[in-house]
Amino acid sequence: MDVALKILVVEPDATRAQDIIDALKEGGWGNVFVVSDVSALAPKLNEVDPDIVLIDLAHPDRDTLEHIGNVSSAQSRPVAMFVDRSDAELTHAAISAGVSAYVVDGLQKNRIKPVLETAIARFKMVERMRHELDAAKQALTDRKTIDRAKGLLMNARGVTEEEAYSLLRKTAMDQGRKVIDVAQALVTAADLLG
Amino acid sequence: MNEHTVTCGFLPLIDAAPLIIARELLFAQDEGINLQLIKQPSWSALRDLLALGQIDVAHMLSPMPIAMTLGQSGMPTNVDALMVLSVNGTVIGVSNDLARDMEKTGWSSDFESPAAAATALFASGRKTIRIGIPFPFSMHRMLLEHWLSVHPSFRSKRVEIITVPPPRMAQAVSNGTLDMFCVGEPWGTAAVQQGVASLILPGSSIWQFAPEKVLGATRDWIEQNPTLCNGLMRAIYRATQWLDDPGNKPLAVEILARSQHIDLPHEAIDPAISAQIVPCLGAKPVSPPHFLFFNNNAANFPWRSQAAWISERIAAWCGLDQDEATRRGKACFRSDLYRGNLSALGVDMPGASAKVEGALKNPLAVKSTKGQLILGPDAFFDGAIFDFDAED
């Protein structure tokens, strides 16, 4: 238990933020704060005075966060991204999960590492869920396009649904394209021709 | 020829043009390089990926390699600038409110007079002027500080420098977070087009020859990949040469707009490439001299003296020993590799690797390996001169 450690999570997505907070709380860190809006970042840093800031590696506001850490001398601000060169595995895990942690100068490594490990695990899970959701949405959109293309072929050529699909598949194979690309081209052409 | 892949991180800005042209016009392929351009969401992300070896080379703000080498930005890593990718190209803009208050002091913008603009700025009735820049270690911040700090009304508490990602600069001005900004194109023009700001100065009016972006790589990567380094520098050099040919400008705009790399429309790219800047809504475009260039006047040469100038500023910000910082910083601008890798391409090289920064008010022919090389003007608006050899 490291309840004294103050952790600030910068995350615009409320669900995702809550997920990370929950994970940290389960891990025994009770002092977790969240900021979603970047314009509130500077006042929040002042108010919370965190030991660790967790932020998505790809978050566009990281440059702003770094500047605040660099320039301000008022308090013990998180000043540097935490990278442990002696523990390459941890660093690589953080990068592939997309987590960056900023820590105050002099904070002991053994206090940072478990926080980072928890965050990495949670980031990974959220990321996977997002990918799955995106993939599911894409599959649904593709299915609709292919259904429309099949319908167009059935009308135009008087073929069955099965024959229409075979035709799409054969065309795709002959041209070295994907079925969805051929279907999309057909739908676009039909829309253009009215 | 076997193709070798080189991954290059970049930010979607107009001055990433040399990298995009090197790829799209196949200058890289001619050298047997498959140049993969990898877009980054922030300078911090780009820096970390380079330091950790996830990308090979990067489009960087000129102070970044030195700040990283001195251990002041991200994890301490020896990073070198192989060549300068672009000179100048930034603009300074003010909010509509601030412009009005500056005009009340009797000032009117001619887009070329830094001293008069600073007088109006300090007389505009603001206790603190909040200025946006894209990154703490940027030429933007160095130019702003040089410009404002020499003014008699300057007090450090009158200026607050804030980092804002360039695509949000216009929004930060319109919602009152910022009074003004210094940013690279297209983001100054974007703020004008959105009607929230007007541009009062090009960066080149403060320093006529400011190295803006460099090609950065870790010293480890450079040592392990001498052949790739050579081919890459040759390809990018040829791209910069192509970009500075006036006849190629319209085509350059077209290629940059069509490629997915910077994902900006034609009208956002054209002003910077053609140096036709519209300072405020409805105004006629102006053509500031030396607005943005990629190759002319030995633009790509990584002068040790430029590195020294940058190092001095970083040392002052971070409280480092000046001599030590300058010594290490100078070694990051690899004029040695530049000479070694580009001489065979027939590139004319200056006789020396350092110059007196700020000494040239007009173009000057200097001794070079092929006879005479014309150096562009590099004066500061206040006549400041930096002679680093004299200080040694």
Cβ–Cβ below 8 Å for B48 and A57: yes
Q: Are B325 and B313 in contact (CB under 8 A)?
A: no
Cα of A57 to nearest chain B Cα, Å: 6
For range B321-344, the mean pLDDT? 97
pLDDT in tens, A57-74: 888 888 888 887 665 544
Given a cut of 80, whether residue B225 has pLDDT beyond it is yes
Cβ–Cβ below 8 Å for A95 and B54: yes
Cβ–Cβ below 8 Å for A80 and B177: no
- Determine contact: A63 vs chain B, CB below 8 A: yes
Cα of B191 to nearest chain A Cα, Å: 19
pLDDT band at A80 (very low <50, low <70, confident <90, very high): low
More confident residue, B142 or A13: B142
Rounded-to-integer distance, Cα A125 and Cα A82, Å: 21
Interface test with A, best of B163, B175, B183 (most A CBs within 10 A): B163
- What is the pLDDT, as a whole number, of residue B1? 55
- What is the pLDDT, as a whole number, of residue A79? 63
Could you please state the CATH topology (level 3) that the domain comprising A133-193 is classified under.
Answer: Arc Repressor Mutant, subunit A (1.10.10)
Rounded-to-integer distance, Cα B299 and Cα B358, Å: 15
Given a cut of 70, whether residue B390 has pLDDT beyond it is no
pLDDT in tens, B267-303: 999 999 999 999 999 999 999 999 999 999 999 999 9
Residue closest to B252 by CA, chosen among B272, B235, B236: B272
- What is the pLDDT, as a whole number, of residue B392? 40
Look up residue B69 and give its amino acid.
T
Cβ–Cβ below 8 Å for A81 and B74: yes
For range B212-241, the mean pLDDT? 98
Cβ–Cβ below 8 Å for B162 and A64: yes
- Residue ranges of E strands in A36-154: 52-56, 78-81, 99-104
- Determine contact: A111 vs chain B, CB below 8 A: no
pLDDT band at A106 (very low <50, low <70, confident <90, very high): confident
Q: For residue B313, what is the DSSP state?
A: H
What is the DSSP annotation of B315-357?
HHHHT--HHHHHHHHHTTB-HHHHHHHHGGGT---BS-S---B
For range B326-344, the mean pLDDT? 97
Q: How many cross-chain Cβ pairs, A to B, lie less than 8 Å apart?
A: 66
The minimal CB distance from A62 to the residues B42, B168, B177 is found for: B42
- What is the pLDDT, as a whole number, of residue A77? 61
The minimal CB distance from A63 to the residues B49, B161, B165 is found for: B165
B50: Cβ–Cβ under 8 A, 6 or more apart, which residues?
B9, B57, B58, B60, B77, B79, B216, B217, B218
Cβ–Cβ below 8 Å for A63 and B162: no
Task: Tell me which chain B residues have a C-beta less than 8 angstroms from the C-beta of A39.
Answer: 175, 177
The minimal CB distance from B45 to the residues A57, A67, A80 is found for: A57
Cα of B40 to nearest chain A Cα, Å: 8
Rounded-to-integer distance, Cα B335 and Cα B382, Å: 28
- What is the pLDDT, as a whole number, of residue B55? 96
Cα of A80 to nearest chain B Cα, Å: 6
Q: Are A181 and A172 in contact (CB under 8 A)?
A: yes
Work out the percent of chain B whose per-residue pLDDT is above 90: 90
Helix (H, G, I), strand (E, B) or coil at B385: coil
B337: Cβ–Cβ under 8 A, 6 or more apart, which residues?
B80, B82, B222, B229, B233
Domain B90-205, CATH homologous superfamily name and number: Periplasmic binding protein-like II (3.40.190.10)
Q: Which two tokens stand for residue A140?
A: 């649904």
The residue of chain A with its CA nearest to that of B167 is: A60
Interface test with B, best of A64, A68, A99 (most B CBs within 10 A): A64
Q: Are B198 and B93 in contact (CB under 8 A)?
A: yes
For range B179-185, the mean pLDDT? 97
Rounded-to-integer distance, Cα B298 and Cα B288, Å: 20
What average pLDDT does chain A have?
84
Per 3-state DSSP, chain A is made up of helix, strand and coil in percentages (nearest 5) of 65, 10, 25
Cβ–Cβ below 8 Å for A67 and B134: no
Given a cut of 70, whether residue A78 has pLDDT beyond it is no
Strand arrangement, sheet containing A7-10: A32-35, A7-10, A52-56, A99-104, A78-81
Residue closest to B317 by CA, chosen among B138, B175, B164, B124: B138
Given a cut of 70, whether residue B314 has pLDDT beyond it is yes
Task: Enumerate the domain spans of chain A.
Answer: 7-129, 133-193
What is the CATH number assigned to the segment(s) A7-129?
3.40.50
Does domain B4-88+210-277+289-340 fall under CATH 3.30.479.10? My reply is no
Task: Enumerate the domain spans of chain B.
Answer: 4-88+210-277+289-340, 90-205, 348-391
pLDDT in tens, A156-186: 999 999 999 999 999 999 998 999 999 999 9
Cβ–Cβ below 8 Å for B163 and A100: no
Task: Tell me which chain A residues have a C-beta less than 8 angstroms from the C-beta of B74.
Answer: 80-81, 83
Cβ–Cβ below 8 Å for B136 and A66: yes
For range B362-390, the mean pLDDT? 90
- Determine contact: A70 vs chain B, CB below 8 A: yes
Cβ–Cβ below 8 Å for B136 and A64: no
What average pLDDT does chain B have?
95
Task: Tell me which chain A residues have a C-beta less than 8 angstroms from the C-beta of B168.
Answer: 60
The minimal CB distance from B134 to the residues A63, A68, A83 is found for: A63
pLDDT in tens, B11-24: 999 999 999 999 99
Given a cut of 80, whether residue B311 has pLDDT beyond it is yes
Cβ–Cβ below 8 Å for A83 and B52: yes
Given a cut of 70, whether residue A76 has pLDDT beyond it is no
Q: Are A73 and A80 in contact (CB under 8 A)?
A: no
The verdict on ipTM greater than 0.90 is no
| A162 membership: H or E segment, kind and range | helix A161-175
Among B111-115, B212-216, B254-258, the least confident range: B254-258
The residue of chain A with its CA nearest to that of B40 is: A58
